[in-house]
Amino acid sequence: MKPTCDHPACPCCGESMSYRDSRKRIRRKEGGCVEHLLVRRLWCPKCRRLHVELPDCLVPHKHYDAEVISGVIEGVVTPDDLDSEDRPCAMTMRRWIRWFHENRSNIEGLLRHAFQRATRSFPIPKDGSLLGFFREHTSSWLEAILRFIYNSGEALPAGSY
Ligand SMILES: [Zn+2]
């Protein structure tokens, strides 16, 4: 079967996947406001694996909105920010920043690998950073790189962040 919106392509092998079930995920915004989202779990008959269809606004293994996390990493959202009202707390912000800095080379490698798989013949610049390119040229850079990495079947370590 050819992949469609209802039956998207498997990130590992490209086979058309089928809907298995949905799970609740928490989406926490700046200030602590919580929303519940339903995310689809899809089954690949070829890999025999379940894949979670993650919406752009979520980051794997984290409850906070991707926009809040990227804002903290960029220094736009800080513990002194009145909008955040202690949510996320300063310690959580420090953990996200540490997670990002400890995974920079990992992210770069995964982006290069995913880029190479997606474009095949398109040459990847050896000297420039793909992560730097995404951060400089896309407004929702964290969402973009995570989607790129996870849609290629790769994953970042969750760590204890
Ligand atoms: Zn597959």
If you measure from the C-alpha of residue 149 to the centroid of ligand 1, how many angstroms do you get, rounded to a whole number? 15
Per the structure block, which two tokens stand in for 93? 């912000």
23 by Cβ neighbours in 10 Å (0-12 / 13-18 / 19+) ranks as exposed
Q: How far apart are CA 155 and CA 60, in angstroms?
A: 9
Looking at the chain, the whole-number percentage of residues with pLDDT higher than 90 is 34
Q: How far apart are CA 110 and CA 156, in angstroms?
A: 8
If you measure from the C-alpha of residue 9 to the centroid of ligand 1, how many angstroms do you get, rounded to a whole number? 8
Per the structure block, which two tokens stand in for 19? 């809907």
If you measure from the C-alpha of residue 45 to the centroid of ligand 1, how many angstroms do you get, rounded to a whole number? 7
Q: What is the chain's mean pLDDT, rounded?
A: 85
Q: Which of 25-29, 132-136, 148-152 is least confident? A: 148-152
Burial annotation 72-99 (CB, 10 A radius, 16+ → b, else e)? bbeeebeeeeeebeebbeeebbebbbeb
If you measure from the C-alpha of residue 135 to the centroid of ligand 1, how many angstroms do you get, rounded to a whole number? 30
If you measure from the C-alpha of residue 49 to the centroid of ligand 1, how many angstroms do you get, rounded to a whole number? 7
Query: Does residue 59 have a pLDDT over 70?
Result: yes
Q: Which helix (H) or strand (E) holds 51?
A: strand 49-52
66-122 pLDDT, tens digit per residue, is 999 999 999 988 877 766 667 788 999 999 999 999 999 999 998 888 887 777 766
If you measure from the C-alpha of residue 50 to the centroid of ligand 1, how many angstroms do you get, rounded to a whole number? 9
If you measure from the C-alpha of residue 36 to the centroid of ligand 1, how many angstroms do you get, rounded to a whole number? 28
If you measure from the C-alpha of residue 115 to the centroid of ligand 1, how many angstroms do you get, rounded to a whole number? 19
If you measure from the C-alpha of residue 39 to the centroid of ligand 1, how many angstroms do you get, rounded to a whole number? 19
If you measure from the C-alpha of residue 96 to the centroid of ligand 1, how many angstroms do you get, rounded to a whole number? 31
